[in-house]
Structure 1
């Protein structure tokens, strides 16, 4: 599947609002390609590609959104968050089935409990996908057209902005430094192993990683090489931890479903 739009050409003297328009246009093209693919087939990697495209768009919005008026920026946040939330449950089930259930069944192919859990997980996943597809169909009708409308009038939006942000080169470095500062604070908060704190740390790390990837042409090599490599390595470790938490929750859901009888058991012998 090809969902990658052509990456825009950025220069250090580019205005942040213009860079936002170029990068978001590419992100929307990827998002729409993924949405179209999901309409025609059911493949976990298609959903993953959509979620990555949305993450890139949200990272660009975080990095360059301050160059836009607050009203439009807040609406973009809400609209992109809508897609991320609509896809999260199906993705959780996909990962659970692929990385927990499939390896377990390979080791114990004749285990009837595992087979029942797998059936329940697939049923839950398919139900979640139906709900997701309805939400994504609604998203195509609105607000996706509104996002395109914003891009068409971005020059007007930029003139209304509180500040233009100057040139992209120094602006990008400033935003990356801010992202690093936030990530350090969240990393300290997550040292005691609190699941929510670790989840926030993981999100901040992903965002900074995608910001660096988007703004790579105008960033110094210390960001585009060393820091990016460190972020990718850290995300792998945090991802395994968070996926384990989600897997335990989904396993508990499946076991609870297995424990609930489809109908009331027959009364014991001699009962009136």
Structure 2
């Protein structure tokens, strides 16, 4: 159970640590709500919602890492990352089958349906394996343990932490510096560097959203710019991951032509989306 601070409104003069449960509660509720649905529904958006909520909790723990016991913050960031990893493969196959394949291979191609059926079979196996692993983790129990852990940690600390307003601005500044360093590294257009930039941008965006009630208009306006860049980098990531997954699919004669069309399309799209991502990076000014 989270402590009573979970229902407290955010205000700039509140002790930052006392607001942790309040900030985490909506994300915990999302995981608790959608976890049972993930085990029985094939709706791709359910896995996406779970992953976003988990990522947002990890971003929050990153921001609070200096106010919490180090072992607690590190342990829970790792445990939450493990949960997100279990949901990842089905989500990637959802994008491959529902988005990329449909864009790459026209339905009129004779072997398109055969390839679709083969990839759909792989997707269903990935979803079944994910559900077994996800259920084994016990997501609802995990969230209860997480709520209890941060509740106890915040109650055990004296109310001497900096105010939420100062803490929020310091956290945004630290995350912004991470983004700026990532942007410099990604200037060469390396795929790994672009991927790391996407991770840093998502963290900064999440923190801006968490702390928006105590931030100024300038900070809040940054969210839209970050969303646009995140979209460009996300589209690149989709084809990079898609190409990796498809390279591991055995090529069978009955769908070889469609498979080759898909591979060629992914190769072409990777180049185009990489150029678009690099161009988008150049439009994001370094801030704080």
TM-score, normalised on structure 1?
0.84
Whole-angstrom CA distance in 2 between matches of 1:180 and 1:157: 30
Report whether the alignment pairs 1:209 with 2:205: yes
Report matched runs for 1:1-272 at 5 Å: 9-105=9-105, 108-140=106-138, 143-159=142-158, 165-225=161-221, 227-254=222-249, 256-258=250-252
Whole-angstrom CA distance in 2 between matches of 1:8 and 1:52: 23
- In our comparison, the structure showing a higher alpha carbon Rg is 1
Task: State the Cα distance separating 1:66 from its structure 2 match.
Answer: 2.1
Aligned residue in 2 for 1:264 = none
Whole-angstrom CA distance in 1 between matches of 2:142 and 2:49: 20
Q: Which moved more, 1:62-71 or 1:137-146?
A: 137-146
Task: State the Cα distance separating 1:259 from its structure 2 match.
Answer: 5.8
Structure 2 residues not aligned, in runs of 5+: 1-5, 256-288
Task: State the Cα distance separating 1:240 from its structure 2 match.
Answer: 1.1
Aligned pairs, how many? 249
Whole-angstrom CA distance in 2 between matches of 1:7 and 1:41: 31
Whole-angstrom CA distance in 1 between matches of 2:123 and 2:157: 42
CA contact (8 A) 1:21 1:154 kept: no
Deviations 1:55-113 (CA, angstroms, capped at 9, x unpaired): 211121111232111111111101110111111111111111121112345xx223233
TM-score, normalised on structure 2?
0.80
Whole-angstrom CA distance in 2 between matches of 1:26 and 1:110: 46
SS in 2 for 1:212: helix
CA 1:224–1:109 in structure 2 vs 1: closer, same or farther (change >3 Å)?
same
Whole-angstrom CA distance in 2 between matches of 1:152 and 1:165: 15
Aligned residue in 2 for 1:270 = none
Whole-angstrom CA distance in 2 between matches of 1:178 and 1:33: 32
Structure 1 residues not aligned, in runs of 5+: 1-5, 262-272
CA 1:8–1:122 in structure 2 vs 1: closer, same or farther (change >3 Å)?
farther
